[in-house]
Chain A
Amino acid sequence: MPRRIPIRFSTRISEMRIPKKCTPFLPVLAGAVLLIALTTNDRLVPLGPPPIPPDNPQAVDEDGFPLASDPKVELGRILFFDNRLSGNASISCADCHSVDFGWTDGSDLCRGYTGTSHWRNCQTLINSAYYDKLFWDGSSKSLEAQAASAAMGAVSGNGERDMMEERLRQVPEYVTRFRDVFGTTWPNLGDAWRAIAAFERTLTQTNTPYDRYLRGDASALTDAQVAGLELFRGRAGCIACHNGPLLSDQRYHALGVPENESFEFDALRQITFRYEQYVKGVTEEQYRKTKTDLGLYYVTKREEDTGKFRTPSLRYTLYTAPFMHNGVFFTLHEVVDFYDAGGGKQKGDDGTGTPVLEPLGLSDAEKDNLVAFLESLSGEEIRMERPEMPPYGTLK
């Protein structure tokens, strides 16, 4: 994601207005805040508008936020809910990224395509526009690519390119809408992904209590949440990875998250686990022996990337349980407990790498405060009606 320097400076200045109970020492404090701002604190900033790729432009408001009224977005919204963008025309993007479950499917491991089970947790689409890469292992480089990948993967959408494209062309309303938006005689599948991505870029949330607090509204957070914020950027060390406007460093880390036990007793998950080893191009020996998700390794094939997953944003987590790449934690409390205990078994434990997590020794009250703060990272739940699907028609 392109870092927009001017915004970051302006928000950093606004952040200097946040001190509570310290006004008598304002000059001293200002200096201290500036010092901190130049080190770690500068990475806590409100969320601005999402980046928009030059090859998929869309209409934005005066602040740079994508407009829902853009015809491209309207088209994308219909496509997002359209089952015809899957193999058997039974599921749409909105089935795994459901408005009823915080734009996830609410399961620890994603439901997957009919007759299959997926093997990772579905991530929310809210604020997905800010990621530079998509999927837990960053295997997709844009929302456009992610949409195509999800619609076509055998355990996700299982759609086939030509069939999906011809279905779109068989819908007179789509023919008109694609022509209006993209200027083509017939709908092209690549444009469908562009429209869906444009729609997804409207799914942002930048007015959380946390954002309002950073913009100077000291009353936006409760005392417990402020205490949690201090722990977050202080002793608990969360900010080491969960930083920046998105509260994600967009990097990949191995934390030793516990295995999801359903792989041990669910035949469909076992099938998919092996299938993923196969399709991600590991060696024969790795295919035989691997029993844990290798994460970023599948993309880079570098030993040191084994078991690393992209730091997720903490925004909107009030609605997106369960958590982690394999959904093993069902509450934010469980997540905090995991980090409090120093994470799980990591590479560093067996002498092959550097441990990144240490036990935190948080009290129960501190954990509560931390969770209270995490809850301030979500605003109102974003919901949406399923649009009416345009019917097939006969082509003359």
Chain B
Amino acid sequence: MRSTAFVLVPLLLAALWSEAVPHFGTGSGQAAPTPLETLGRYLFFDTRLSGDGSLSCASCHQPEYAFAGSDALSAAYPGSDGFRNTPSLIRVGARGSYFADGRLPASDLETAVRDAITETHFMNLDGRLMQERLKQVPRYVELFQEAFGEATAEGAGAAAEPTFGRTLAAVAAFVKTLDYGRSPYESGTMSEAAVRGEALFRGKAGCTSCHVGPAFSDNRAHVTDVPESEALFAEPLRHATYRAFIKAMGVPNYMTVRRDVGRYTVTKNEADRGAFVTPTLVGARHTPPYMHNGVLETLNDVVDFYDRVGGGVGSPGGNGGARAQDARSPLGLTQAEKQDLVAFLEALSGDMPVVERPELPRYEVIRNWNTTDN
């Protein structure tokens, strides 16, 4: 009875999901992309959305790595360097918040896109310059018109030229289409090892104290004492970039910080120092390395880590529901149990979406420049 529910509920959710969100290239039964999503796909791969034209969204959120990166710490805009692991964008709509410190609410993906395009260590582009670049690409002018033009009684659309806001909306719309194929967990085809692993996951290992719900995340920040990245403060450019970030976020005494302060960046609550938002486990098989700073290379390493430090984690900052940190103790998992747990984690991942990189439309000179309205 109980195991049936475990299968059926996710199945139902998966069905609702694919009903609600059309996606690119993950299999049959998907709705065709809307003009907005089509536009967003071009923009996602377009390096003109970075200040010096060197990076697109896909430079860090790489399709071949499940729209995450393969490095422990992210790449960044030239002249800076990344200080956290690039999260996957697949099923981003199921998240409760964005960024490892949860600084943006899930209801506002467009603002997360804004951050990615304009922040100095991401793509460092002035949004006004972005608008004018896109207006210089005739194909984009058409795509924006198709996506945003409102049909009138005469059938002609109102002018809907490229703007900053529309660009954010289009990229967000595309990103929301990214989905995995159905996982063994969702389709009820898990191996026996994975079934045993699920029991551990919900029982002895205590994973569900944080990894709950359809996305396997409580969307809360916890202090898990993940080891600090050795690169973050040893590599000058990463350290400088991280300082610039926490300084801009108003973290006091940022010159002396030598450990990622995590959620504290947002709340300035001492209890949140070093707390990070629980990541989803859906698709985890495709997104090594793991944790906010990528210090754990495999799912085995992740399981070993929690076996060592204790599965029940918490933040003394009163996140409610999470166990207090001092209550944590080693899990005492056997080697076989760890393998089962990993098998279950792997069973949470379906196939990666296949999204082709579009051929990007080019800038074109505006003929009759002097007689054409800007």
Do A and B come from the same complex?
A: yes
Contact between A88 and B363 (Cβ–Cβ < 8 Å)? Answer: no
Contacts of A266 in B (CB 8 A): 365
For chain A residues 364-396, which have a beta carbon within 8 Å of chain B?
392-395
Contact between A89 and B51 (Cβ–Cβ < 8 Å)? Answer: no
Q: Does A245 contact B (CB under 8 A)?
A: no
Interface-side segment among B1-9, B30-38, B366-374: B366-374
Tally of contact residues, A, Cβ under 8 A: 47
Contact between A291 and B126 (Cβ–Cβ < 8 Å)? Answer: no
Contacts of A116 in B (CB 8 A): 129
| Chain A minimum-CB-distance residue to B235 | A394
Q: Does A160 contact B (CB under 8 A)?
A: yes
Contacts of B248 in A (CB 8 A): 162
Contacts of B135 in A (CB 8 A): 271, 274
Specify which of A86, A89, A289 is in contact with B374 (CB 8 Å cutoff): A289
Contact between A170 and B51 (Cβ–Cβ < 8 Å)? Answer: no
Question: Known contacts A88-B79, A90-B79; is A291 also within 8 Å of B370 by CB?
Answer: yes
| Chain A minimum-CB-distance residue to B373 | A288
Contact between A267 and B365 (Cβ–Cβ < 8 Å)? Answer: yes
Interface-side segment among A61-69, A275-283, A299-307, A350-358: A275-283
Q: Does B364 contact A (CB under 8 A)?
A: yes
A392 CA / B247 CA spacing, docked (Å) = 19
A274 CA / B161 CA spacing, docked (Å) = 14
Contact between B255 and A291 (Cβ–Cβ < 8 Å)? Answer: no
Contact between B247 and A162 (Cβ–Cβ < 8 Å)? Answer: yes
Contact between B239 and A170 (Cβ–Cβ < 8 Å)? Answer: yes
For chain A residues 145-192, which have a beta carbon within 8 Å of chain B?
154-155, 158, 160, 162-163, 165-167, 169-170, 186
Specify which of A163, A273, A394 is in contact with B79 (CB 8 Å cutoff): A163
A271 CA / B80 CA spacing, docked (Å) = 26
Question: Known contacts A160-B124, A163-B120, A270-B365; is A114 also within 8 Å of B244 by CB?
Answer: no
Specify which of B78, B125, B240, B364 is in contact with A167 (CB 8 Å cutoff): B240
| Chain A minimum-CB-distance residue to B124 | A87
For chain B residues 118-133, which have a beta carbon within 8 Å of chain A?
120-121, 124-126, 128-129, 131-133
Contact between A267 and B364 (Cβ–Cβ < 8 Å)? Answer: yes
Contact between B240 and A275 (Cβ–Cβ < 8 Å)? Answer: no
Contact between B52 and A88 (Cβ–Cβ < 8 Å)? Answer: yes
- Taking the closest CB of chain A, its distance from the CB of B261, in whole angstroms, is 16
Contacts of A392 in B (CB 8 A): 236-237, 240
Contacts of B133 in A (CB 8 A): 271
- Taking the closest CB of chain B, its distance from the CB of A343, in whole angstroms, is 20
Q: Does A265 contact B (CB under 8 A)?
A: yes
Specify which of A158, A169, A263, A290 is in contact with B52 (CB 8 Å cutoff): A158
| Chain A minimum-CB-distance residue to B370 | A291
Contact between B366 and A163 (Cβ–Cβ < 8 Å)? Answer: no
- Taking the closest CB of chain A, its distance from the CB of B81, in whole angstroms, is 11
Contacts of A101 in B (CB 8 A): none
A277 CA / B243 CA spacing, docked (Å) = 34
Q: Does A54 contact B (CB under 8 A)?
A: no
Q: Does B77 contact A (CB under 8 A)?
A: yes
Contacts of B103 in A (CB 8 A): none
- Taking the closest CB of chain A, its distance from the CB of B271, in whole angstroms, is 26
Q: Does B153 contact A (CB under 8 A)?
A: no
| Chain A minimum-CB-distance residue to B53 | A115
- Taking the closest CB of chain B, its distance from the CB of A76, in whole angstroms, is 21
- Taking the closest CB of chain A, its distance from the CB of B74, in whole angstroms, is 15
Specify which of A114, A162, A163, A291 is in contact with B369 (CB 8 Å cutoff): A291
Contact between A165 and B79 (Cβ–Cβ < 8 Å)? Answer: no
Contact between B51 and A115 (Cβ–Cβ < 8 Å)? Answer: yes
Q: Does A268 contact B (CB under 8 A)?
A: yes
Residue from B53, B233, B240, B369 with most neighbouring chain A CB atoms (10 Å): B240
A140 CA / B207 CA spacing, docked (Å) = 59
Tally of contact residues, B, Cβ under 8 A: 43
Contact between B236 and A394 (Cβ–Cβ < 8 Å)? Answer: yes
- Taking the closest CB of chain A, its distance from the CB of B130, in whole angstroms, is 9
A392 CA / B237 CA spacing, docked (Å) = 8
Q: Does A135 contact B (CB under 8 A)?
A: no
Contact between A275 and B241 (Cβ–Cβ < 8 Å)? Answer: no
Q: Does A199 contact B (CB under 8 A)?
A: no
Contact between B51 and A154 (Cβ–Cβ < 8 Å)? Answer: yes
Q: Does A264 contact B (CB under 8 A)?
A: yes
Contacts of B128 in A (CB 8 A): 154, 275, 278-279
Specify which of B126, B236, B363 is in contact with A170 (CB 8 Å cutoff): B236
| Chain B minimum-CB-distance residue to A158 | B51
Contacts of B54 in A (CB 8 A): 88, 114-115
Contact between A271 and B365 (Cβ–Cβ < 8 Å)? Answer: no
Residue from A158, A272, A277 with most neighbouring chain B CB atoms (10 Å): A158
Contacts of B233 in A (CB 8 A): 394-395
Q: Does A309 contact B (CB under 8 A)?
A: no
For chain B residues 16-59, which have a beta carbon within 8 Å of chain A?
48, 50-54
Contact between B78 and A88 (Cβ–Cβ < 8 Å)? Answer: yes
Contact between A274 and B374 (Cβ–Cβ < 8 Å)? Answer: yes
Contact between A87 and B77 (Cβ–Cβ < 8 Å)? Answer: yes
Q: Does B234 contact A (CB under 8 A)?
A: yes
Residue from A160, A165, A272 with most neighbouring chain B CB atoms (10 Å): A160
For chain B residues 89-143, which have a beta carbon within 8 Å of chain A?
120-121, 124-126, 128-129, 131-133, 135-136
27 interchain pairs, CB-CB under 8 A: A84-B79, A89-B78, A90-B79, A113-B52, A115-B48, A115-B50, A115-B53, A115-B54, A116-B129, A154-B126, A163-B79, A163-B80, A165-B244, A166-B241, A166-B244, A169-B243, A267-B363, A271-B129, A271-B133, A275-B132, A278-B128, A278-B132, A287-B374, A288-B374, A291-B370, A392-B237, A394-B236
Residues of A within 8 A of B (CB): 83-84, 86-90, 113-116, 154-155, 158, 160, 162-163, 165-167, 169-170, 186, 263-268, 270-275, 277-279, 287-291, 392-395
In addition to A163-B121, A166-B241, A267-B136, 18 A-B residue pairs with Cβ atoms within 8 Å of each other are A87-B77, A87-B124, A88-B51, A90-B79, A113-B52, A116-B129, A166-B243, A167-B79, A169-B243, A264-B370, A266-B365, A267-B363, A270-B365, A274-B374, A275-B128, A277-B374, A291-B370, A392-B236
